[in-house]
Structure 1
Amino acid sequence: MALRLNTKILLGFAIALSALVATSIMAFVTIRQLSHYTSLVDHSYQVLQQTDDVRLAIRDAQTGMRGYLLVGDPYYLDLYQRNALLMQRKAVTLQRLVADGRLQHARADTLRQLIEGQEEELELFKTYNPSPEAAQALLLREQQPLRVFKGVVLRLRQYEERLLRVRNQRQQLFQWLAPLAIVVSAVLAIIIVLWLFRRISGELRANEHLRLELTRVNLDTARRIKGIEHLARQVVQGDYKVKIVDSGQDRLGSLATLLNQMTQALDDAFSTLEKRNQELDQFAYVASHDLKAPLRGLSTIVRWIEDEQAADLSPALLTYLDQMKGRLGRLDDLINGLLAYARASRTEAPAEEVNVAQLTRDVADLVVPPDFALELAPGLPTFQTDRLGLQQVFTNLFSNAVKYHGPGGTGRLRVSCQDIGRHYEFRVQDNGPGIAPEHHQKIFLLFQTLRDRHTAESTGIGLSIVKRLIDDRKGSIHVESDLGQGATFIFTWPKGPALVKIK
């Protein structure tokens, strides 16, 4: 399992730290042992020094007492007294120094007791001046304690010398181990640091190489994605002939190939659709014009019959003629509507400055009766757009409101607008009978009307023309209404010159 760089670095440092801690502990232990045995060596030298001092003090004290007993000179008595005090202090010091060793401590205690006993015995003779025979006897008596003194001091010294030899050996061993441990620790640290440096440098070089490779791949991928985005933007704008040049063998290359195939298919489909739409528009336009002539002929014949044969016509026949005029009038409205619907996509769309408030007043003067109230909300914009198209939208919406208002009551129209970014959102609100929610989509379909088909003015084309005009300008329209609540038509219109594709 491959480890990440951070994990490798942490693991390497953990190993290095563990090794350094282990060698540091070893160096610490050896240095501490060296210090310990150095102290013991110093202690042994102190013990040996004290044994020498005790031995010399005892010798000088005995010399002073012998001299005093033999010649009675006070000088020797003073020498005795000084060395008696000295050997007593040295014995106490020696006993304290060897307190950590049971055998040596017992010997030092024996030596101290012997010194005290000898001192008490010699004290008996310093107050009088014995005869030479008594002094000689006393000197003979001192030979045995002196040998005991020497034996105790010798054993003390020999034991301490053996300890000193052992401690010197241990001290020399740790004197050799301590610098060795430090050197080993330093060398090991250097080796580990160099190893870590080499590994980390290698990993960093590999990572840098990988980063450069990823940067190159990312730049190449970004370039190829930018090409795909360009194709998408061109498709959104209606250019289906755009292609991507990408020879990659990866998923992006496959995607580019599929997108090229898609744009080709879209181009073929939209070309076919445009051709069909043009044929349909041409058919509607030509058919409307061709139907006008016979329709006018039928209307003329009906009018001639009414003018010339009125006296000879029965009431039933007059009723039939009235129904025929109604049907001919509705057919004329349908043909006019078809012409308007066909022209809605064929009209040139020059951009000009349009004051919406003034435009709606002009439209109201043409299609809104005097008994209707027109209310314009503040803030209606003035902007560059297709005046004729926007005028036709308001004309059809106003006419639709007037047609469906019905008899009775005062009609009311309200126009408002708000800025929603790249479009204006217009709202045309009336107080008519309203539209049931299930018919909100139906009313924008061609030839769909909510009125009786025998009503002449209801052709079902007006709102279809409105939707087509708005759709051609990439806008949207919908209605908010309910029965008895009036209707509000809401549509969006681009702010700039309308991008209408002229058929």
Structure 2
Amino acid sequence: MGFAIAAGVLLLTALVSFRTIRQLTIHTRSVENTYQVLQEAEELTSQVREAERRVRGYLLTNDVDYLQDYPSSEQQVEKSFVHLRQLMVDNPVQTQRLDSMRLLVRQQFRNMQTLITPQTALTPPVTRTILDTGRQTMRAIRGLFNRLKASELQLLTLRNRQQNIYETIAPITIIVSAVLAILIALWLFFKISRELTANEQLQQQLTHGNQETSRRIEIVEHLAEQVLGGDYKVKIKDKEKDSLGNLANLLNRMTQKLDESFGALENRNKELDQFAYVASHDLKAPLRGVTTIVKWIEEELSGELSPQMRQYLDMMKGRLARLEDLINGLLAYARIGRTEQKIEPVDVAELVREVTDLVVPPEFTVAVSGTLPTFLADRLSLQQVFTNLFSNAVKYHHQGAGTITVRCQETKKEYEFSVADDGPGIAAEYHEKIFLMFQTLRDRNTAESTGIGLSIVKKIIDEQKGTMRVSSEVGHGTAFIFTWPKLPSQ
């Protein structure tokens, strides 16, 4: 509070001092401006009188030496008017007088120009009339000048008075500010000294409390380390009724729940392993038996089968193959993240060639744009990703042949791979749907697909802490873009 009050007072005095000095500067400039106006007006009037004197001397003596500097007089007078108008831009009354005076001066110069022009034949009466008009114009100019000068002198008096006021206020304000600053500093020094004495006593109490708290926190850290190591039966013995005691109680309950949950999870994993064994053996055996029976029918009754019956048998074989692929896909999907990764250097270019030989038919072309990296990764997982993407590109191509293009772009922490084809493309509304389980965009009768391939790819990428997206438009092919970390995920 003391520092806030001090800062507020100092800020207030600083603002007052700043405004005082600023006003003093403004009024000083105003006084200087008034002096400049008076000086410029005097010079302007003198220039007009001097031009008139030269014209009269020429008319009396017919000596052209009087007109030697006359041509530049009008230009100088115009410059003076421009300068005066800039100086008096904030005074509309004076500006109006100046404009009237400017019109009269221009009229006077036109009259004088008529008198000194050699080609003009002027009679004595006309000359006298022009001279009388010039004298009247000069009287009007002097009258306007006197009013302008009187107004500026009055303004000068007012501005001098205001300047004197702020010249008096400015040092007083600075002195008051300095005194206030000293008094506030002394008061704060007194308050802080008392606070420091009290803080020393409090510090001793806090030191003892911190040592005890550190000891209890070390016990909690030790428990966390044991939990990270897989020991979920550890407990903390802390009977204090404070926040750390409550935290210890919650951690004990958490470790108990973790122990129960991981025990249940281990049982579920055993059940999944048993399911995988049954699915891979007991479920596939009947499928292989039915497939064998279909082959026997085709071989032994080939002469008795009608075309319609052959079509039915072909459909049955396709469905059996899709069912076996579906079981294999489910098993592969279930095993993702549950098997130990084998981290090894992977030459992605070589891996792409191997996958091409396995799943890409000869009529398709696999092109590599740029260079593909070699880095540490789980080779089997990366091979599954490329295998499924290549298979999809071939399976859903609308023509008998096509091109698959593989690209890679390196970023700071990962590689961004792209597998693009020149197939029929995918509409934007299906870009998210295709990664769901059992989702296909073609009729089951058109292509025997399980709808699991992209789900497997998405889950593998998620396990690797990467991202996956699709870029496609109908009729312009499809590109699957996924990222793979440079460092293997744990």
TM-score normalized by structure 2? 0.53
Is 2:484 the partner of 1:488? no
What does residue 440 of structure 1 align with? 431
Deviation of 1:464 after TM superposition, in Å, equals: 2.4
Distance 1:316 1:375, change over 3 A: closer
Distance 1:456 1:271, change over 3 A: farther
- State which of 341, 346, 351 in structure 2 corresponds to 1:354: 346
Distance 1:428 1:420, change over 3 A: farther
Could you tell me how far apart the structure 2 residues matched to 1:262 and 1:476 are?
A: 32
Partner AA of 1:477 in structure 2? M
Deviation of 1:4 after TM superposition, in Å, equals: 5.4
What does residue 301 of structure 2 align with? 309
- Aligned pairs for 1:416-427 within 5 A: 416-421=408-413, 423-427=414-418
Q: Name the SS for the 2:466 alignment partner.
A: coil
Deviation string for 1:429-453 (max 9, x for gaps)? 3333333344333333333322222
Deviation of 1:280 after TM superposition, in Å, equals: 3.0
Deviation string for 1:164-202 (max 9, x for gaps)? xxxxxxxxxxxxxxxxxxxxxxxxxxxxxxx99997644
Distance 1:467 1:306, change over 3 A: same
Could you tell me how far apart the structure 2 residues matched to 1:469 and 1:432 are?
A: 24
- State which of 457, 461, 467 in structure 2 corresponds to 1:470: 461
Could you tell me how far apart the structure 2 residues matched to 1:445 and 1:256 are?
A: 43
What does residue 207 of structure 1 align with? 199
Could you tell me how far apart the structure 1 residues matched to 2:295 and 2:249 are?
A: 68
Distance 1:340 1:264, change over 3 A: same
What does residue 451 of structure 1 align with? 442
Could you tell me how far apart the structure 1 residues matched to 2:233 and 2:356 are?
A: 46
Could you tell me how far apart the structure 2 residues matched to 1:267 and 1:425 are?
A: 39
What does residue 291 of structure 2 align with? 299
Distance 1:220 1:397, change over 3 A: farther
What does residue 163 of structure 2 align with? none
- Whether the 8 Å CA contact 1:405–1:411 is kept in 2: the answer is no
Deviation of 1:206 after TM superposition, in Å, equals: 0.7
Could you tell me how far apart the structure 2 residues matched to 1:232 and 1:370 are?
A: 57
Partner AA of 1:416 in structure 2? C
Could you tell me how far apart the structure 2 residues matched to 1:219 and 1:357 are?
A: 59
Deviation string for 1:230-282 (max 9, x for gaps)? 988998x7968397856654345434543553454355335434532442343
Partner AA of 1:431 in structure 2? D
Deviation string for 1:114-140 (max 9, x for gaps)? xxxxxxxxxxxxxxxxxxxxxxxxxxx
Is 2:425 the partner of 1:428? no
Could you tell me how far apart the structure 2 residues matched to 1:445 and 1:475 are?
A: 17
What does residue 470 of structure 2 align with? 479
- Whether the 8 Å CA contact 2:438–2:451 is kept in 1: the answer is yes
Aligned-CA RMSD value:
4.4
- State which of 374, 379, 382 in structure 2 corresponds to 1:382: 374
- Whether the 8 Å CA contact 1:477–1:490 is kept in 2: the answer is yes
Deviation of 1:344 after TM superposition, in Å, equals: 4.2
Gaps of 5+ in 2: 7-186
- State which of 361, 364, 367 in structure 2 corresponds to 1:372: 364
- State which of 404, 412, 424 in structure 1 corresponds to 2:396: 404
- Whether the 8 Å CA contact 2:464–2:488 is kept in 1: the answer is no
Could you tell me how far apart the structure 1 residues matched to 2:299 and 2:384 are?
A: 38
Partner AA of 2:458 in structure 1? K
- Aligned pairs for 1:109-258 within 5 A: 201-211=193-203, 213=205, 241=232, 245=236, 249-258=241-250
Partner AA of 1:283 in structure 2? F
Partner AA of 2:440 in structure 1? T
Could you tell me how far apart the structure 2 residues matched to 1:203 and 1:228 are?
A: 35
Could you tell me how far apart the structure 2 residues matched to 1:403 and 1:393 are?
A: 15
- Whether the 8 Å CA contact 1:443–1:449 is kept in 2: the answer is yes
Distance 1:253 1:485, change over 3 A: farther
Partner AA of 2:389 in structure 1? L
- State which of 275, 283, 290 in structure 2 corresponds to 1:283: 275
Gaps of 5+ in 1: 9-194
- Aligned pairs for 1:1-16 within 5 A: none
- Whether the 8 Å CA contact 2:404–2:419 is kept in 1: the answer is no
- Whether the 8 Å CA contact 1:299–1:328 is kept in 2: the answer is yes
- Whether the 8 Å CA contact 1:375–1:413 is kept in 2: the answer is yes
TM-score normalized by structure 1? 0.51
Distance 1:447 1:277, change over 3 A: farther
Could you tell me how far apart the structure 2 residues matched to 1:242 and 1:327 are?
A: 51
Distance 1:436 1:268, change over 3 A: farther
Could you tell me how far apart the structure 1 residues matched to 2:427 and 2:218 are?
A: 48
- Whether the 8 Å CA contact 2:369–2:405 is kept in 1: the answer is no
What does residue 407 of structure 2 align with? 415
- Whether the 8 Å CA contact 1:285–1:339 is kept in 2: the answer is no
What does residue 97 of structure 1 align with? none
Deviation of 1:399 after TM superposition, in Å, equals: 1.2
Is 2:313 the partner of 1:318? no
Distance 1:259 1:288, change over 3 A: same
- Whether the 8 Å CA contact 2:364–2:401 is kept in 1: the answer is no
Could you tell me how far apart the structure 2 residues matched to 1:238 and 1:469 are?
A: 26
Could you tell me how far apart the structure 2 residues matched to 1:487 and 1:293 are?
A: 38
Distance 1:232 1:4, change over 3 A: farther
Could you tell me how far apart the structure 2 residues matched to 1:440 and 1:227 are?
A: 51
- Whether the 8 Å CA contact 1:415–1:427 is kept in 2: the answer is yes
- State which of 253, 260, 264 in structure 2 corresponds to 1:261: 253
- Whether the 8 Å CA contact 1:333–1:456 is kept in 2: the answer is no
Q: Name the SS for the 1:406 alignment partner.
A: coil
- Whether the 8 Å CA contact 1:288–1:338 is kept in 2: the answer is no
Q: Name the SS for the 2:404 alignment partner.
A: strand
- Whether the 8 Å CA contact 1:384–1:495 is kept in 2: the answer is yes
Identity %: 61
Partner AA of 1:383 in structure 2? F
Q: Name the SS for the 1:385 alignment partner.
A: strand
Deviation of 1:296 after TM superposition, in Å, equals: 1.9
